[in-house]
Amino acid sequence: IATEEPLNPIKHDTKKGKLRYVANIFPHKGYIWNYGALPQTWEDPNHTDNLTGCCGDNDPIDVCEIGSKVRSFGEIVQVKVLGVLGLIDEGETDWKIIAISADDPEAQKIHGKYFYIDDVKKHKPGYLEATIDWFQLYKVPDGKPENHFAFNGEFKNKDFAVEIIKSTHEHWKALLHKKVDGGAIKCTNILVSGSPFCCSEEDARSIVQSVRMF
């Protein structure tokens, strides 16, 4: 999600002018879930999270969707929130929501009233442990140190996760209503009533049409 471009298009990530790819972390190959984000959320880099002691990473909140279907880039998926992992990535708070597509065959098996995350351990043994391993090591091939976790790597339950989502949604609302400084983030939108960044559909269409396609 190119947050520094108008209307935040989805495009291949770059770093230092080069296309960015995720490394293979043995025995995993690439991402081990469908990796996406929740719209209308923002981890504020100027806000110190009182749970982690670190500021946000300036991005929407990430989602690891653990369903059986491999999703397409840009696909919109309704998910069932199961829990959350508190990653500390290079000193920044980077929450990882664990979720499963609402229409996935296994979604109905994960039905504990409060502890969906325990059902994940039951029906997908080893998956959460692999998730910890992946996030801890994924930047090591780039010469960076291992990542760390809040709560000693404990996955918090769905109620905890929902509160994190609500909090990052409030930060997003503050950003879209210019109550906080978003820096280089482009907040142009067509749907948020009362936002000083709101534009017409015609203006949005002009922005899209002005982008050169390669």
Q: Where are the domains of the chain?
A: 14-182
Q: Is residue 155 within 8 Å of residue 66, measured between CB atoms? A: no
Instruction: Render each residue's pLDDT in the chain as its tens digit; 214 residues.
Output: 999 999 999 999 888 889 999 999 999 999 999 999 999 999 999 999 999 999 999 999 999 999 999 999 999 999 999 999 999 999 999 999 999 999 999 998 887 655 688 899 999 999 999 999 999 999 999 899 999 999 999 999 999 999 999 999 999 999 999 999 999 999 999 999 999 999 999 999 999 998 866 5
**Top-tier CATH class for 14-182:** alpha beta
Distance CA 127, CA 17 (A): 34
Distance CA 164, CA 109 (A): 24
Can you tell me which residue has the tokens 């790597």? Answer: 153
CA 50 to chain centre: 19
Structure tokens at 156: 């918090």
